[in-house]
Amino acid sequence: MTSYVDRQEKAKFGSDRDAEMRLKNNRLGMTIFQASWIMVFLALIVVNWQLRFSYAQWPPAGVAPFDPLLPSAATLALLLSAVLARRGWQGLRLGNSALFLMSWRLAMALGLVFMAIIALEFAAVSEAALATQYGITMRLMTGFHLAHALAILAVMLRVYRNGARGSYSGDPRDSWPVEGTVKLWYFVTVAWLLFYAVLYWIR
């Protein structure tokens, strides 16, 4: 007798309608996941914001404010990267696999640039800043964001490799990994924009 599980998989995931449904589910699931997980980033913003009240001024006395120049460049790179990722996905949907691959190469390179700059910033927090929450929350936020960016970039790379092998037809129903990764990369971008504003501009 076939096991309960085997029968169940056969019965449940065969038809075309199921493929439609899976796509619909994936899209909604991704939206909800993003809404949910952005809350963690908001929580860290709350942390930054509440800890400001421990100090008479922000940044605390004797601590030089972070220079927004390089991070702004990184932000730009990330934005560009998101746009490219999107362009790649559109290319793939139009059947232009070369455009997809090229855009993603660039997108990933720009993502790396972003991460390198932010990692540099992370490392360069001064001793004086680290003695206060100004530096500590900065490391918390950038570190947390970097971890996400890194993980999602790894996913991108994997999807890119599969794409290079021609695994995705461009039909959204069997190219979900591409679409999903693009959406995750947007997520990284949006989360960063929030952090960027809080860390470098809102005093």
Partner 1 sequence: MTTIAVPLGAQAEQHEAEVVRRPALSEYLRWSVDHKIIGVQYGVAAFLFFIVGGAMAMGIRLELWTPELDLMASGAAYNSLFTMHGTIMIFLFIIPMWAAFGNFVVPLQLGAKDMAFPWLNAFAFWLIPPAAIVVLLGYFVTPAEAGWTSYPPLSTLFSGDGQTLWALGAHLLGISSIMGSINFIVTILNMRPPQMTIWRMPLLCWAVLATSIIAVMATPFLAGALTLLLLDRVAGTTFFNAAGGGDVLLWQNIFWFYSHPAVYIMVLPGMGVLSEVLSIHCRKPVFGYRMVGLSSMGIAFVGFTVWAHHMFTSLQPELRIPFMITTMIIAVPTGIKMFSWLGTVWGGKMRFTSALLFGLGFMSMFVIGGITGVMLAALPFDIHVHDTYFVVSHFHFVLFGGSVFAIYAALYHWFPKVTGRMMNERLGRIHFAFTYFGFLFTFFPMHIVGMLGMPRRVAVYDPNFTDWNQVISFSAFVLGFSTFIVVYNVIHSYFRGPVAGANPWRALTLEWATTSPPPVTNFAEDPIPFEDPYGYGTEASAAYLDAVDAAFDAEPPATDNS
CA distances (Å), origin 179, targets 47, 69, 82, 102, 136: 32, 32, 12, 16, 35
Q: How far apart are the first and last CA of the chain?
A: 68
- C-beta of 36 vs 201, nearer to partner 1: 36
28 near partner 1, rule: CB under 8 A: yes
Applying the rule CB under 8 A, the residues between 42 and 101 that interact with partner 1 are 42-44, 46-47, 50-51, 53-55, 60
- CA separation for the pair 59, 201 (Å, rounded): 11
Applying the rule CB under 8 A, the residues between 95 and 134 that interact with partner 1 are 131-133
- CA separation for the pair 138, 81 (Å, rounded): 23
Computed on alpha carbons and rounded to an integer, the radius of gyration of the chain in Å comes to: 21
- CA separation for the pair 120, 112 (Å, rounded): 12
150 near partner 1, rule: CB under 8 A: no
Q: Which of 16, 35, 165, 203 binds partner 1 (CB under 8 A)?
A: 35
Q: Which of 37, 86, 102, 190 binds partner 1 (CB under 8 A)?
A: 37
Binding site residues, partner 1, CB under 8 A: 3-5, 7-9, 11-12, 21, 24-25, 28-29, 32-33, 35-40, 42-44, 46-47, 50-51, 53-55, 60, 131-133, 136-137, 140, 144
